[in-house]
Chains A and B, each alone.
Chain A
Amino acid sequence: QLQLQESVPGLVKPSETLSLTCNVSGGSISGSRYYWAWVRQPPGKGLEWIGNIFYSGTSYYNPSLESRVTISVDTSKNHFSLRLTSVTAADTAVYYCARLSHGDSNWFDPWGRGTPVTVSS
């Protein structure tokens, strides 16, 4: 059974860079059927798509975050990563990694358990 597990950065200072890794187990991150994605949820609010990446390295980002976001993939380690630069309090959220189906119809399944990130000095 495929499982995803986010790393735990916890507290990040304003203006610094948030870095997270999602470790994938129970299946290979390589393959043409899926993307690998990041989604976040600010406290008490809804879900926001951050971006997703194909195993080949092709990535897609939410335009509202594109200038600050980089998603990368390491197939040898079966994990993918998120970097978000110049963070502010507005980036405080639970960050989820998830598998996103590839093709004409794109849904997220499964999801990691999520890791809370707080931006504060």
Chain B
Amino acid sequence: QSVLTQPPSVSGAPGQRVTISCIGSTSNIGTGYDVHWYQQLPGTAPKLLIYGNTNRPSGVPDRFSGSRSGTSASLAITGLQAEDEADYYCQSYDTALSGVLFGGGTKVTVL
């Protein structure tokens, strides 16, 4: 099934740690395809946050980290800050789709 499932929303207080799951299947993450993560601040274009499951582009704080295991992946944000309030999307490749697949997105709210 060509779907990457993310929770619609997660929230946390400043300073806390939150995680966002991205559940795939054997046609995408489970096949070994990398997972990438994007941050979309309100009213702006998505921005690459994590590539190749665990790598942070230059300029991305080390508060953001990614992991992948089996048919799922996760994005963790430690030391949550007000500026982290945004939508987050996972992305991978899907063999059934023969193309790129995005998760449905997760809205992070800082309480």
Residues of A at the B interface (CB closer than 8 Å) are 37, 39, 46-49, 51-52, 60-63, 96, 100-101, 104-114
Q: Are A111 and B47 in contact (CB under 8 A)?
A: yes
20 A/B residue pairs, CB under 8 Å, sorted by A = A46-B103, A46-B104, A47-B89, A48-B102, A49-B100, A51-B99, A60-B98, A60-B99, A61-B99, A63-B98, A96-B45, A104-B34, A105-B34, A105-B36, A106-B34, A107-B36, A107-B52, A108-B48, A111-B47, A112-B45
- Closest partner residue, chain A, to B47 (CB atom): A111
> What 10 additional pairs, Cβ within 8 angstroms, besides A62-B99, A112-B45?
A47-B105, A49-B100, A49-B101, A60-B98, A60-B99, A105-B36, A105-B52, A107-B48, A110-B48, A114-B45
Q: Which residue of A lies closest to B32 (CB)?
A: A104
Contacting pair B89 A46 (CB below 8 A): yes
Chain B residues lying within 8 Å of A106, measured Cβ to Cβ, are: 34, 93, 100
CB-nearest residue of chain A relative to B92? A106
Most chain B beta carbons < 10 A, residue from A100, A104, A109: A109
A13 to chain B, nearest CB (A): 26
Q: Decide: A108 and B91 in contact? CB cutoff 8 A.
A: yes
Task: Name the B residues within 8 Å of A96 (CB-CB).
Answer: 45-46
* Nearest CB of A to B82, in Å: 23
Kindly identify, within residues 43 to 70 of chain B, every residue whose CB is under 8 Å from any CB belonging to chain A.
44-48, 51-52, 57
Contact B102 A47 (CB under 8 A): yes
Query: B residues within 8 A CB of A46?
Result: 89, 102-105
Q: Which of B44, B57, B104, B105 contacts A109 (CB 8 A)?
A: B57
Please, which residue of chain B has its CB at the minimum distance from the CB of A110? B48
Q: Which residues of A contact B46 (CB under 8 A)?
A: 39, 47, 96, 108, 111
